[in-house]
Structure 1
Amino acid sequence: MGRVINRRPGRGLQLLLGALPFVVLAAVYLAASDARLSINPADKLLPSLQSFTEAIDRLAFQPDSRKGTYILWADTAASLLRLCLGLVIATGIGLSAGVAIGLLPMVRAAFAPLVAALSMVPPLAVLPILFIVFGLGELAKVTLIVIGITPFLMRDLSMSVAALPREQLVKAQTLGASTWQIATRVVLPQILPRLIGGLRLSLGPAWLFLISGEAIAATEGLGYRIFLVRRYLAMDVILPYVAWITLLAFMLDFLLRRLSRRAFDWMPEEQRQ
C-alpha cells in the first residue's frame, strides 16, 4: 500500500483541490447571507450577490458624479503607485545594504546590530511620527512601506551573502578580482533569486502598511475607501475591495514568481520560494 506522503495529484486534480476551498467558502457565505436576508431584508452584514454586483458596477463602471472619475480604478492606481514606489526604494536600499553588510566585515560590525534593532521596531508604531515629520502627503505613506520591509530585506540578504561558500571569495581574490568585482560578479548573481523571494514574502506586510497609511490620511486609495465606507456598514463595498486587494497581491506575487523562473532558470525547483 502506497504511503500518502508519496501520492501526488495530477494537474486536473490539483486544480480541483485548489478550487474546492473557495467553492466551499462561497457556498457557506451564500447560505448564511440567504438566511440573514430572509429574516431581515435590510441586513447589511452579509449582502447578496445582487448588492455586490450593483456596488461593483457603480464603483468600477460609472463615473463619480462629483469628480467624474471611476472610483475603483482611481483608488487602485493611487494604491499601486504608493506600493510600487515603496517596494522599489526598499529593494534598492535592502540590496545594497544587504550585500555590504554580508560581504564586508567592517560594515557588518558597524551596522548589523543597528539593522537587527530596527527590524524589531513595529512599523505601525512610528506611523504617527512619520505624519508629524513628513505631513499627511504621499511621502509619509511611502516611507512607512520602506521602513516596514527594508530591515527584513537587509537582514535576509546579508545572511544569504554571509552563507555563500568562503572558497568562492578566496578563489575570486586569487584570480585578481577586486571587492567590487566580487560583489557584482560573484555575490550579486547568487543572491538575486533570494531578493525576489524576499520581495514575495514582503508583499503581505507592504499591503498592510499601505492600507494603514491610507486609512489615516488619504483622499483616494483602496485603504481609504474601505475605512471611508465602514461608517455606513457598506459591506457590499468593503468585501469586493478586500477581494480586489487580495487579487492584486496574488497577481504581483505571480509576476515575481514568473520573473524568478525566467531570469533564474538554472535554479533548482525545490529551492524556489
Structure 2
Amino acid sequence: MTRLINRQPSRYSRLMLGLLPFIVLFVIYLVTSDARLAENPSDKLLPSLGSFADAIVRMGFEPSKRTGEYLLWQDTFASLQRLGIAVGLSAMIGLVIGVFNGMIPYVRSPLSPLVTALSLIPPMAILPILFITFGLGELSKVVLIVIGITPVIIRDIQLRTDALPSEQLIKAQTLGGNSWQIILRVVLPQTMPRLIDAVRLTLGSAWLFLIAAEAIAATEGLGYRIFLVRRYLAMDVILPYVFWITTLAFAMDWSLKRISILAFPWYHSAQGARND
C-alpha cells in the first residue's frame, strides 16, 4: 500500500490544489458581500465586484483631477523604488558581513554579538528615532527596511557559511589558496544562491516595514494611499491595493527564484525536486 506521504500529485493536480483555497475564499467573499449589500446597499465593508472595477479604473487609468497623475502607477513606482534600494543594500551588506562573520574569527568575535542584538530590536520601535535622525524623506524609509532585514540576512549567510564542508576549505588551503582566494573562489560561489533564498524569506518583512513607514510619513506610495483612504472607509480602493501589493510581492519572489534556478542549477539539483 502506498503511504500518503509518498504520493505525489501531478503538475495539473498541484495547480488545481494551489488554486482551490483562493477559489473558496473568492466564493465566500461573493456570498458574504451579496448578503450584506442586499441588507444595506450602502455598505462599504464588502463592496461588490463592480465597485472594485470602478475603483481600479479610477486609480489606475484615469488621471487625478488634483495632480494629473495616474495614482496607482505613481504609488507603485514610489514604493518599488524604495523597496528596491533598501533590499539591494541589505543584500550587499548581509553578504559581506555574513561571509566575513562565518569565515574570519577576528571579525565574528566583535560583530556577531552586535548583529544578534540588532536582530532582536523591533524595527518599528525605532521608527520615531529614524524620522528624527534622518528626517521624513526617502532616507528614513530605506534605513528602516535595511535595519529590519539586514541582520536576518547576515545571520542566515553566516550560518550557511559555517555549514560549508570543512574538507573544501582544507583542500583549498592545501593547494596554496590564501584567505581572500578561498572566500572569493570557494565560499562566495556557494553562498550566492543562499543569499537569494535569504532575500526571498525577508521580502515579506521588507514590505511590512515599507508600508508602515509610508503610512506614517509619505506623500505617495502604496502604503500611503491605503492609509489615506481608510478614513473614508474606501474598501473598494484598499482591497485592490492590498491585492496589488500581494501580486507585486509574489512576482518579486518568483523572479528571484527563477534567477536562482537559472544562475545556480547545481544548487537546486542538490536540493531535490521540491524547491519552494
Question: TM tier, shorter chain?
Answer: over 0.9
Q: Are 1:69 and 2:69 matched, yes or no?
A: yes
* 1:226 match: secondary structure: helix
* Post-superposition offset of 1:98: 0.4
> Which residue of the partner structure matches residue 17 of structure 1?
17
Q: Residues of 2 paired with 1:110 and 1:121: CA distance?
A: 18
* 2:110 match: secondary structure: helix
> Which residue of the partner structure matches residue 216 of structure 1?
216
For structure 2, the residue ranges without an aligned partner over 5 or more in a row are none
Q: Which amino acid aligns with 2:196?
A: I
Q: Are 1:153 and 2:153 matched, yes or no?
A: yes
* Root-mean-square deviation (Å): 1.0
Q: Residues of 1 paired with 2:13 and 2:98: CA distance?
A: 41
> Which residue of the partner structure matches residue 226 of structure 1?
226
Q: Residues of 2 paired with 1:247 and 1:155: CA distance?
A: 28
| 201-210 or 105-114, which deviates more | 105-114
For structure 1, the residue ranges without an aligned partner over 5 or more in a row are none
Q: Which amino acid aligns with 2:174?
A: T
Q: Once the two structures are superposed, what CA deviation does each residue of 1:105-153 show, in whole Å capped at 9, x if it has no partner?
A: 1111111111111110011111110000000000000000000000001
> Which residue of the partner structure matches residue 3 of structure 2?
3
Q: Residues of 2 paired with 1:272 and 1:90: CA distance?
A: 24
> Which residue of the partner structure matches residue 51 of structure 2?
51
Structure 1 segments, 4+ long, off by >4 Å, are: none
Q: Residues of 2 paired with 1:255 and 1:143: CA distance?
A: 24
Q: Residues of 1 paired with 2:69 and 2:135: CA distance?
A: 26
> Which residue of the partner structure matches residue 109 of structure 1?
109
Q: Residues of 2 paired with 1:111 and 1:22: CA distance?
A: 44
> Which residue of the partner structure matches residue 207 of structure 1?
207
> Which residue of the partner structure matches residue 96 of structure 1?
96
* 1:176 match: secondary structure: coil
Q: Residues of 1 paired with 2:216 and 2:121: CA distance?
A: 20
Q: Once the two structures are superposed, what CA deviation does each residue of 1:138-190 show, in whole Å capped at 9, x if it has no partner?
A: 00000000000000011110111111122221221121111111111000011
Q: Once the two structures are superposed, what CA deviation does each residue of 1:92-112 show, in whole Å capped at 9, x if it has no partner?
A: 100000011100011111111
* Post-superposition offset of 1:7: 1.4
* 1:186 match: secondary structure: helix
* Post-superposition offset of 1:2: 2.1
Q: Once the two structures are superposed, what CA deviation does each residue of 1:75-107 show, in whole Å capped at 9, x if it has no partner?
A: 000000000000000011000000111000111
Q: Which amino acid aligns with 1:30?
A: L
Q: Residues of 2 paired with 1:149 and 1:163: CA distance?
A: 21
Q: Residues of 2 paired with 1:29 and 1:66: CA distance?
A: 33
Q: Residues of 1 paired with 2:100 and 2:271: CA distance?
A: 28
> Which residue of the partner structure matches residue 191 of structure 1?
191
Q: Residues of 2 paired with 1:219 and 1:116: CA distance?
A: 34
Q: Residues of 1 paired with 2:216 and 2:91: CA distance?
A: 25
Normalising by the residue count of structure 1, what TM-score does the alignment of the two structures yield? 0.98
* 2:46 match: secondary structure: coil
* 1:22 match: secondary structure: helix
Q: Once the two structures are superposed, what CA deviation does each residue of 1:2-37 show, in whole Å capped at 9, x if it has no partner?
A: 221121111211111111111110000000000000
> Which residue of the partner structure matches residue 40 of structure 1?
40
> Which residue of the partner structure matches residue 170 of structure 1?
170
Q: Residues of 1 paired with 2:176 and 2:2: CA distance?
A: 55
* Post-superposition offset of 1:272: 4.3
Q: Residues of 2 paired with 1:6 and 1:93: CA distance?
A: 41
| 231-240 or 3-12, which deviates more | 3-12
Q: Residues of 2 paired with 1:211 and 1:120: CA distance?
A: 21
